[in-house]
Amino acid sequence: MTFVDNQGIRSNASVMEFGINDLERLSGIKAHTIRTWEQRYGIPKPAYRNGRTRIYNLDDLKLLLDIAILNSNGYKISTLANLSKEEIAQRIKVLNTDEDLYRKVINELFKVMYQLEPRDFESIIDQCFITWPCQIVMEEIVVPFLRKADLFWQGRQLTEEHLVVTVLRKKILSAIEKIEVPLKESRKILLFLSGSKQLDLALLYATFYIRHKGIEVIYMGNDVSLDNLSTILDTIKPDFLYTYFPRKSSFPFDKVACVINQKSPGTDMVVTIHPEQEIKLTSFDKISFMQLDEALPFLCQ
């Protein structure tokens, strides 16, 4: 059986296929550039076409990931098109700036992820934590990987995603437990998700980030109801609530604002929305909307 997601990736026990938008997201190379490279230089060449749609296989993705990192280091595509896979690999091997090393690791994570090799995936992550401090691994490797894989908010329930989400969740929790920064103030930030099908990887990263700043985190996890929030606000009275939502949401912002005003007037709420989220952003008392990169520093200021 083949499973098809709404962004083009197809997977079964032996076949992994990608649309051009998947290649763009994973490699960082624009789709129109990929088409131009194919027309002029024959790489990456689709495995086959379904009508006008280009379908690529895992080897095509691996090649493009390698080409992308070399191209960003000044190699012209006209030169790369004439190199063998071994020659490309040799040139990648000698790249050793911090940025290149991070990108090489992320590329390897994608390769083993789509090869369904969870042991290799975990081994690479473990080696990262041995090589670099936890904060570097989280901010330069784990977070960029999750953004490109589109696993920060809500996965597509593909087999390979289940395997790596399990590994990454375990590693982020371990990184949180190893934080030795003492709590430096009495501020409390409560993190929660309202949906049961949302991935909590971004929330766990937020926990790591905030705790690393010496601020107390109350982590409630998934499927938190309005009644749950009402009870916790009545009892704990945190300084901030923080949550995020996937592409679609019917969250009762107005009701939550009323509960905050009634139970804990000193509490404010910060909400991160998916860039493609389909809700109307109306002003609510006590609630602010921010992207993750803005919300986390704001919560910790």
Average pLDDT in the 264-284 region? 75
Pair 290, 189 in one domain: yes
Q: Is the pLDDT higher at 159 or at 261?
A: 261
- State how far Cα 185 lies from the chain centre: 30
CATH number where 88 lies: 1.10.1660.10
With cut-offs at 50, 70 and 90, classify the pLDDT of residue 4: very low
Pair 32, 67 in one domain: yes
Average pLDDT in the 60-82 region? 96
Percent of the chain with pLDDT over 70: 90
What CA–CA distance (Å, rounded) separates 103 from 39?
27
Q: What is the pLDDT of residue 3?
A: 32
Q: Is the pLDDT higher at 247 or at 16?
A: 16
Pair 199, 273 in one domain: yes
Q: What DSSP line would sit under 230-245, residue for residue? A: HHHHHHT--SEEEEEE
Pair 142, 241 in one domain: no
Residue 30: domain span: 1-95
Average pLDDT in the 21-46 region? 94
Question: What is the enclosing helix (H) or strand (E) of 201?
Answer: helix 201-212
Average pLDDT in the 63-67 region? 96
What CA–CA distance (Å, rounded) separates 201 from 209?
12
Q: What is the pLDDT of residue 275?
A: 63
Domain boundary among 74, 95, 116: 95
Asked if residue 44 has a cis previous peptide bond (ω within 30° of 0), the answer is yes
Pair 87, 105 in one domain: no
Pair 196, 293 in one domain: yes
Pair 275, 204 in one domain: yes
What CA–CA distance (Å, rounded) separates 148 from 24?
10
**Tally of CA atoms within 13 A in the half-sphere of 4 that contains its CB:** 4
The answer to whether the beta carbons of residues 24 and 37 sit under 8 Å apart is: no
Q: What is the pLDDT of residue 159?
A: 82
Indicate the SS3 state at residue 53.
strand
What CA–CA distance (Å, rounded) separates 123 from 128?
9
Q: What pTM did the predictor assign?
A: 0.87
Pair 86, 137 in one domain: no
pLDDT tens for 281-300 read: 556 778 888 889 999 999 99
Cite the beta strand spans of 65-195 per DSSP E.
188-192
Residue 36 pLDDT > 90: yes
Average pLDDT in the 222-243 region? 93
Q: What's at 263, amino acid-wise?
A: K
Domain boundary among 178, 199, 233: 178
Tokens representing 55? 């379908």
Q: Which residues of 91-115 are buried (b: 16+ CB within 10 A; e: fewer)?
A: bbeeeeeeebbbbbbbbebbbbbbe
Average pLDDT in the 44-67 region? 91
CATH number where 154 lies: 1.10.1240
With cut-offs at 50, 70 and 90, classify the pLDDT of residue 5: very low
All residues at 6 or more sequence positions from 266 whose CB lies less than 8 Å from its CB, including other chains: 237, 239
CA torsion sign for 145, 27, 59, 95 is negative
Residue 247 pLDDT > 80: no
What CA–CA distance (Å, rounded) separates 159 from 17?
13
Domain boundary among 33, 63, 95: 95
Q: What is the pLDDT of residue 210?
A: 96
pLDDT tens for 207-219 read: 999 999 999 999 9
Residue with tokens 């919560």: 299
CATH number where 188 lies: 3.40.50.280
Pair 90, 115 in one domain: no
Q: What is the pLDDT of residue 191?
A: 97
Pair 103, 80 in one domain: no
Pair 162, 128 in one domain: yes
Pair 206, 144 in one domain: no
Q: What is the pLDDT of residue 300?
A: 93
All residues at 6 or more sequence positions from 162 whose CB lies less than 8 Å from its CB, including other chains: 155
All residues at 6 or more sequence positions from 1 whose CB lies less than 8 Å from its CB, including other chains: 12
With cut-offs at 50, 70 and 90, classify the pLDDT of residue 9: low
**Number of domains the chain contains:** 3
Q: Which residues of 40-62 are buried (b: 16+ CB within 10 A; e: fewer)?
A: ebebbebeeeeeeebbbbbebbb
pLDDT tens for 161-197 read: 888 999 999 999 999 999 988 887 788 999 999 877 7
